[in-house]
């Protein structure tokens, strides 16, 4: 099972892997040096931790993800709804939009998603 609890730095690292995979671990070290100002040991430590969490794998020096970026963030969102709103998607949406003014376009896009879901589940 994948541990979706990542710190901001670990998420940034995972984003680098998703954007570049498959990537050699040596090339990953170079990118992390340039983008995060990390030394080689830091890169390998974070890589090892994300492999232990079940998010990435490093096989024969090639780093790949075990789930896609979209799958990760979808599961993380589900976890937030479950943990913070007792699994209630309407409560989450109400909380989210209470402090954010939706544009007419955003409201229409959301309505289209709801309509498509209803049609799919008839």
pLDDT along the chain (122 residues), means of 10: 79 96 97 96 96 94 95 88 89 84 88 89 79
Residue 2's pLDDT is: 66
What is the model's pLDDT at position 1? 58
Could you tell me which of 52, 46, 60 has the C-alpha nearest to residue 16?
A: 46
Residue 63 and residue 18 in contact, taking contact as beta carbons nearer than 8 Å: no
Mark whether 80 and 109 lie in a shared domain. Answer: yes
What pTM was estimated for this model as a whole?
A: 0.74
* Domain match, 100 and 63 both: no
Which residue range(s) make up the domain with 22? 8-68
Q: Are residues 60 and 33 in the same domain?
A: yes
> Six-digit token pair at 77?
């969102």
Q: Same structural domain for residues 26 and 78?
A: no
- How far apart CA 62 and CA 42 sit, in angstroms, is 17
Give the chain's domain count.
2
Per-residue confidence (pLDDT) for residue 120, from 0 to 100: 84
Domain assignment of residue 54, yes or no? yes
Rounded CA separation 53/10 (Å): 11
């Amino acid at each position: 099972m994948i541990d979706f609890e990542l710190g901001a730095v670990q998420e940034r690292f995972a984003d680098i892997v998703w954007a570049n995979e498959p990537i050699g671990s040596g090339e990953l070290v170079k990118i992390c040096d340039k983008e995060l100002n990390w030394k080689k040991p830091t890169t390998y430590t974070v890589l090892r931790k994300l492999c232990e969490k079940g998010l990435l794998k490093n096989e024969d020096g090639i780093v790949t993800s075990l789930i896609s970026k979209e799958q990760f963030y979808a599961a993380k969102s589900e976890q937030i709804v479950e943990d913070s709103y007792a699994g209630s998607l309407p409560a989450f949406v109400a909380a989210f939009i209470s402090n954010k003014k939706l544009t007419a376009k955003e409201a229409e896009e959301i309505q289209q998603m709801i309509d498509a879901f209803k049609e799919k589940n008839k």
